[in-house]
Amino acid sequence: MKKINKKKEDDFLSKDWLISNTKTIFYAILIALVIRTFFFQPFFIPSSSMEPNLLVGDRLFVSKYSYGYSRHSFPFSLNIIKDRIFFNKIKRGDVSVFKVPTDTGPNEESFGVDYIKRIIAIPGDKIEMKNGVLTINGIKLEQKRIRTDKKVLKNGKIIELDVFLETNIDGKSYEIYNYYDDGPADDFEEYTIPENYVFALGDNRDNSKDSRFVGPIPIKNLVGKAQIIFFSTKDGSTILEIWKWPFGIQYKRLFNLIN
């Protein structure tokens, strides 16, 4: 009888342990989903389109509440919210994550991967670019050359890049790269940003697929505003590659605020 009772006791403890841990995992997942949906979501930088400000291998937090909430606030862009609620004003110069539109026109519902770019113009702005210099609402943006950077390309070639400090019409300044003059996207005619859209460019102006190629970005496609770099590894080595950490982690970039 004692052996039978002991077995029943072990079975009870085993079931109790399973239920307890299942609840813990469930609540942990629920809390993570709430944080990811309404507060902060981590993103990884896979390309050089936002250099020199964001580098390949940067991991950053994007605030979901900065522009209010839309379907893209939810995992898999679940169509829970029709448009956008608790909308907050978008500012020129914001570094933002958005779903790139794959269709054009006022009623597009198709969207692709997440892009991260800088918001250059907001609804109603008139924007044009000549020889790589932007003019917004008749005001030419100041570009001041501040230094030259060396960059190693994938083929091993080393090139020198001019770094300019661009100041927008609201007085916000940020660094941009210029690979070469007379680039294929250095010029476009004056364009008025439609209502409910923004115009976004990469800081690496000669190496960025942005609104010059995909068109203006619907405000409803905005995911959030990039706020802080919480982790960074050279050339994008993963967090799980622990053996690379002593040499791969870019310590100077950890917990840097994003301008």
**Mean pLDDT value of segment 19-31:** 83
Higher pLDDT, 209 or 29: 209
Distances from the Cα of 74 to the Cαs of 26, 36, 70, 77, 83, in angstroms?
A: 18, 8, 8, 5, 13
Q: Are 24 and 74 part of one and the same domain?
A: no
Higher pLDDT, 207 or 32: 207
Q: Are 61 and 169 part of one and the same domain?
A: yes
Q: Are 21 and 126 part of one and the same domain?
A: no
Compute the distance between CA of residue 67 and CA of residue 73 in angstroms, rounded to an integer. Answer: 10
Q: Are 30 and 82 part of one and the same domain?
A: no
Q: Are 8 and 47 part of one and the same domain?
A: no
Higher pLDDT, 43 or 23: 43
Report how far apart the first and last C-alpha atoms of the chain are (Å, whole number).
72
Measured from the Cβ of residue 231, the count of other Cβ atoms closer than 10 Å reads: 17
Q: Are 147 and 31 part of one and the same domain?
A: no
Q: Is the pLDDT of residue 220 over 70?
A: yes
Q: Are 214 and 242 part of one and the same domain?
A: yes
Q: What is the chain's Cα-based Rg? A: 23
Compute the distance between CA of residue 224 and CA of residue 46 in angstroms, rounded to an integer. Answer: 18
Q: Is the pLDDT of residue 2 over 80?
A: no
Q: Are 43 and 32 part of one and the same domain?
A: no
pLDDT tier, 1 (very low <50, low <70, confident <90, very high otherwise):
very low
When divided into structural domains, the chain yields a total of 2
Q: Is the pLDDT of residue 209 over 90?
A: yes
Q: Are 5 and 46 part of one and the same domain?
A: no
Q: Is 211 helix (H, G, I), strand (E, B) or coil?
A: helix
Q: Are 58 and 15 part of one and the same domain?
A: no
pLDDT of residue 55: 95
For residue range 31-75, what is the model confidence (pLDDT) as tens digits? 888 888 888 999 999 999 999 999 999 999 999 999 999 988 888
Q: Are 11 and 48 part of one and the same domain?
A: no
For residue range 155-206, what is the model confidence (pLDDT) as tens digits? 878 888 899 999 999 999 999 998 888 788 899 999 999 999 999 999 999 9
CATH number at residue 72: 2.10.109.10
**Active-site amino acid positions:** 49, 117
Which residues of 105-254 form beta strands (DSSP E)?
111-121, 126-130, 133-136, 139-140, 142-152, 158-167, 173-178, 188-192, 197-201, 217-218, 222-232
**Domain region containing 4:** 1-38
Token pair 């010029």 is found at 187
Q: Are 97 and 214 part of one and the same domain?
A: yes
